[in-house]
C-alpha cells in the first residue's frame, strides 16, 4: 500500500493466547484517517487486548498491526510514540507530581497544555499533586495526557469512566471538534447511548472475534429495517444498542 493511501489503522489476522486461553482469534479490521470508531463488546471480549496490541504494549502470537502503513509490535513502535495518544485502563499517575507536571511529561508546548486544561475544565486543581485527585479528576488528567500533543490517532479505553454528566458532554464535544480537524479516534465504551452520539463506525467484538464493522449510517438503516419487519414501527432509538442486543447472546 502506498503511504498516501495507507489506512490509519490496519489489523490483519491478529491472534493472542494467554496460556491456553485464546483471547483474539484472527481479528481483522481497518479504518481511515478522521474516522471516530467505537470498539464495543461484552466484558472480556478482547477490546483492551486489541488496544494494547495497537500500541505495541503486548506481544501477539500471529498477525500484524499497521498504523499509517507502518508496522507496530513490541519491538517496532516509533509510529506509536510519535503519532498516537492513548488512555488504556487506568491513567498512569505519579502521586507527587501535579497535573500540570504530568502534562509537561507529554509536551513542551505551554499553549497546548493551557488549551487542554481549559477545554476539560481542570483549572481548579491542575497545580495540585495528583495524589489528591478524585477518580474523575485522574481520568480527566489521563484524557488530557492522551490529547495534549494533538496526535494523529487517539485510543481511549472507557474514557467516560468516573466522569460526571457535564464532563461527558464536554468530552463528546471535544472529540467531535478534534475529529473535525482530522484526528482519528478509537474508543471503547459500554455506555452505548453516549458512544453512538460521537462515532462514525462501530466494530463489535465478542470472544476475541470481530462480529461486525459498520458505519453508523449502515447500522441505523439496518436497525430501522429490522424494526419495521418486527414491529411495523419506523422510529428507532439507539442503533448500536439494538444491534448489540441482537448479536451478543
Ligand atoms: N494479562 C492477562 N493474563 C491472562 N488473561 C488475560 C490478561 N489480560 C486479559 N486477559 C483475558 O483476556 C480476555 C480479554 O480481556 P480484555 O481486557 O481485552 O477484555 P475487554 O473486552 O477489554 O473487557 P472489559 O470490557 O471487561 O474491559 C479476558 O478473558 C481476560 O480475562
pLDDT in tens, 189-246: 998 888 999 999 999 999 999 999 999 998 888 777 766 566 666 565 677 676 677 6
Distance 43 CA to ligand 1 centre (A): 8
Q: Cβ(208) to ligand 1 under 6 A?
A: no
> For residue 117, what is its C-alpha cell?
486544561
Q: Is 48 in the pocket of ligand 1 (CB under 6 A)?
A: yes
CA dist 211 and 170 (Å) reads: 31
pLDDT at residue number 82? 85
Mean pLDDT of the chain: 90
Q: How far is the CA of 208 from the centre of ligand 1 (A)?
A: 10
CA 205 to centroid of ligand 1, rounded, Å: 13
How many residues in total does the chain contain?
249
Over residues 154-166, the pLDDT tens digits come to 999 999 999 999 9
The three cell numbers locating residue 34: 478522521
d(CA 46, CA 206): 7
Domain boundaries, the chain: 3-247
* 51 exposure class (CB count in 10 Å sphere: 0-12, 13-18, 19+): buried
Angle at 50 between CA 47 and CA 54, to 5 degrees: 140
What is the ipTM score, two decimals?
Answer: 0.97
Which of 66, 54, 68, 64 is CA-nearest to residue 3? 68
46 C-beta closer than 6 A to ligand 1: yes
Instruction: State whether the beta carbon of 94 lies less than 6 angstroms from ligand 1.
Output: no
* Mutation to probe ligand 1, out of 45, 160, 205 (largest number of atoms < 8 A from CB): 45
The single-letter DSSP state of residue 183 is -
pLDDT of residue 112: 95
Query: Is residue 43 within 6 Å of ligand 1 at its C-beta?
Result: yes
Q: Which fold has domain 3-247?
A: Rossmann fold (3.40.50)
Instruction: State residue 168's pLDDT score.
Output: 94
| Distance from residue 18's CA to the centre of ligand 1 (Å) | 9
pLDDT in tens, 38-68: 999 999 999 999 999 999 999 999 999 999 9
pLDDT digits (tens, 9 = 90+) for 140-183: 999 999 999 999 999 999 999 999 999 999 999 999 999 999 99
The atom of ligand 1 lying closest to the CA of 41 is 21
Mean pLDDT, residues 71-81 taken together: 86
Indicate the SS3 state at residue 186: strand
SS3 content of the chain, % helix, strand, coil (to 5): 40, 25, 35
Model confidence band, residue 31 (pLDDT cutoffs 50, 70, 90): very high
Q: Which atom of ligand 1 is nearest to the CA of 50?
A: 18
Phi, psi at 233, each rounded to 5°: -85, 150
Query: What pLDDT is stored for residue 230 in this prediction?
Result: 63
Number of other CB atoms surrounding residue 111 within 10 Å: 7
Q: Is the CB of 44 under 6 A from ligand 1?
A: yes
Amino acid at each position: 500500500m502506498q503511504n498516501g493511501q495507507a489506512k490509519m489503522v490496519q489489523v490483519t489476522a491478529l491472534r493472542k493466547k494467554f496460556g491456553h486461553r485464546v483471547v483474539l482469534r484472527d481479528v481483522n479490521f481497518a479504518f481511515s484517517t478522521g474516522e471516530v470508531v467505537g470498539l464495543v463488546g461484552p466484558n472480556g471480549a478482547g477490546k483492551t487486548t486489541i488496544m494494547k496490541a495497537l500500541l505495541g504494549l503486548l506481544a501477539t502470537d500471529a498477525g500484524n498491526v499497521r498504523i499509517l502503513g507502518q508496522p507496530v509490535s513490541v519491538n517496532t513502535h516509533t509510529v506509536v510514540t510519535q503519532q498516537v495518544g492513548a488512555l488504556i485502563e487506568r491513567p498512569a499517575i505519579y502521586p507527587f507530581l501535579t497535573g500540570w507536571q504530568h502534562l509537561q511529561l507529554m509536551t513542551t508546548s505551554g499553549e497546548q497544555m493551557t488549551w487542554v486544561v481549559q477545554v476539560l475544565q481542570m483549572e481548579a486543581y491542575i497545580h495540585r499533586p495528583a495524589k489528591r485527585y478524585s477518580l474523575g479528576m485522574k481520568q480527566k488528567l489521563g484524557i488530557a495526557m492522551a490529547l495534549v500533543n494533538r496526535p494523529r490517532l487517539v485510543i481511549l479505553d472507557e474514557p467516560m469512566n468516573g466522569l460526571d454528566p457535564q464532563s461527558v458532554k464536554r468530552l463528546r464535544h471535544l472529540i467531535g471538534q478534534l475529529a473535525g480537524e482530522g484526528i482519528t479516534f478509537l474508543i471503547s465504551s459500554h455506555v452505548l447511548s453516549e458512544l453512538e452520539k460521537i462515532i462514525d463506525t462501530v466494530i463489535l467484538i465478542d470472544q476475541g472475534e470481530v462480529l461486525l464493522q459498520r458505519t453508523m449510517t449502515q447500522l441505523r438503516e439496518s436497525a430501522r429495517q429490522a424494526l419495521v419487519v418486527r414491529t411495523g414501527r419506523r422510529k428507532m432509538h439507539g442503533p448500536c444498542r439494538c444491534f448489540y442486543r441482537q448479536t451478543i447472546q
